[in-house]
Amino acid sequence: MTRFTVLLMLLVPLAASAQRVDVQEYHLANGMKILLVENHTVPSICYFSYFKVGSRNETLGITGISHLFEHMMFNGSKKYKPGQLDQIIERGGGYSNASTWNDFTNYFEEFNPDLLDTVLDIEADRMRALKLDSANIEQERGIVKEERRVSTDNDVRNAATEVLYANAFVAHPYQHQVIGWMADLDNIRLDDAKAYFRTYYAPNNAVVILTGDFNSAKAIALIRKHFESIPAQAPPRENLNAEPEQHGEKRIKFYKAAELPAVLIGYKSISARDSDYAAADMLGQILSRGQSSRLYRRLVYDKQMCTQVWGGADELRDPGLFTFYAQMKEGFRTEDAEREIYAILDSIKQNGVRPEELQKARNNAQADYVRRFKTNEGTGFILGYYETLSGDYHRALTVVQQYERVTNDQIKRLAARLFDEQRRTVVTLIPQAPDAGTN
């Protein structure tokens, strides 16, 4: 086991203050990475386990398996019965949850400090010997399929979003949503699950983050006791970004039962690892955050043609999309919204943004980010997020400075780089009556 201690400072020029984040880094013999952040402000501990697997790692035929595992991980292991983790933590006033993303899956619990040894034992047992059988898969398969029906098939905007990504990407797994395709959910077999678990839920593909009220020396001793005997596995094969350059606009008409027409526009964007990503995030805020944003002011307030409008850049390991959505008011056409959106983007490409817009976006972005470090859960999430997304949690402590360095010229250059009609995919939602033969 190796150990590194890093003292990091998160600077907040906006608030003229600074927040210290003391991160202790350890590596177990089996390759698992550990990050510890002691914080004795409140008598509570948050445990995060991040696995470097998400929908990005799935192949056609088993899409949705990462999210399926998020459910199956709560159904017991060799030593613990289904639901026992939640019962133990909730009896002590805590809670647990999990989430699946394109680029990772995480599991976390917030609990009283006296439960640390028990929680670590549970987490290690489900990493070592998760209950994987046909009953577990069939139970959760049905739940995930129903979740897909509710969240995608019967949700107009999410259904249109699925169509957008499926058409914008031709080679990258970002073309399918985290929930997976329905036929693939039906197709996943027990052998698929066992192979997936063995490859991606191995300790050498995991990062554990502990934040809160504990003693680091005692905590790492407990982690080592519970986890270090779990064997490493052959590392998963690295996914290549094989997405080719887009050389022409794609337009899709999407017919679905809906009350109002809408349009979704997606431009091929940049990776969250890109040095321009802070500028992309601020540009999204300038365009669509709040009633003074450019999109809202033009399309909702001035022109009164839309009921909803928003835009922003994906924050993904590989380049995603910079998307825009506009839902029309009755009597207006989606072409009207497209015309106004493109005019706004062209203006920024030519003239940039006003100083007050840039400063407002910077203030909001910095304040939003710093607030995430106010809780044990927020700190653990951010450290794990950057460790899995970029391969280096240290980047989490430079984000505020990145926002500070964004300039108007950078915004202009980025807008010109991104908002090229040849790299654009447009999905037009055309409402149909519920009995017109479509969902």
Is 257 a domain residue? yes
* Same domain membership, residue 266 and residue 220: no
**CATH code, domain with 23:** 3.30.830.10
Query: Could you say which of 165, 194, 227 is where a domain stops?
Result: 227
Confidence of residue 436 (pLDDT cuts 50, 70, 90): low
Return the pLDDT at 16.
Answer: 32
Rounded mean pLDDT, 334-342: 98
Q: Answer for the pair 23, 37: CB distance below 8 angstroms, yes or no.
A: yes
Residue 20 has pLDDT above 90, yes or no: no
Is 160 a domain residue? yes
Query: Could you say which of 227, 258, 290 is where a domain stops?
Result: 227
* Same domain membership, residue 177 and residue 50: yes
Is 236 a domain residue? no
* Same domain membership, residue 79 and residue 113: yes
Return the pLDDT at 19.
Answer: 53
Residues 6+ apart with CB under 8 A from 239: 56, 57, 173
Enclosing H/E stretch for 6: strand 2-12
CA distance 319 to 337: 26
* Same domain membership, residue 147 and residue 7: yes
Q: Say how many domains are in the chain.
A: 2
Residue 4 has pLDDT above 70, yes or no: no
Residue 15 has pLDDT above 50, yes or no: no
Residue 435 has pLDDT above 90, yes or no: no
Is 240 a domain residue? no
Is 380 a domain residue? yes
* Same domain membership, residue 307 and residue 274: yes
Is 102 a domain residue? yes
* Same domain membership, residue 50 and residue 166: yes
Query: Could you say which of 227, 242, 277 is where a domain stops?
Result: 227
pLDDT tens-place string over residues 281-304: 999 999 999 999 999 999 999 999
pLDDT over 70, % of the chain? 95
* Same domain membership, residue 216 and residue 278: no
Residue 390 has pLDDT above 70, yes or no: yes
Is 267 a domain residue? yes
In this structure, what DSSP letter does residue 245 have? P
* Same domain membership, residue 61 and residue 165: yes
* Same domain membership, residue 167 and residue 43: yes
Confidence of residue 433 (pLDDT cuts 50, 70, 90): confident
CA distance 383 to 161: 29
What order do you get walking across the sheet with 424-432 strand by strand?
250-257, 424-432, 262-268, 321-328, 306-313
Rounded mean pLDDT, 303-307: 97
* Same domain membership, residue 60 and residue 206: yes
Rounded mean pLDDT, 159-184: 98
Containing structural domain, residue 80 = 2-227
Residue carrying the six token digits 């933590």 = 89
Return the pLDDT at 21.
Answer: 87
Confidence of residue 437 (pLDDT cuts 50, 70, 90): low
Closest of 308, 229, 319 to residue 32, by C-alpha: 229
Return the pLDDT at 2.
Answer: 44
pLDDT tens-place string over residues 121-157: 999 999 999 999 999 999 999 999 999 999 999 999 9
Is 30 a domain residue? yes
* Same domain membership, residue 125 and residue 47: yes
Residue 171 has pLDDT above 50, yes or no: yes
* Same domain membership, residue 275 and residue 206: no
Rounded mean pLDDT, 87-100: 92
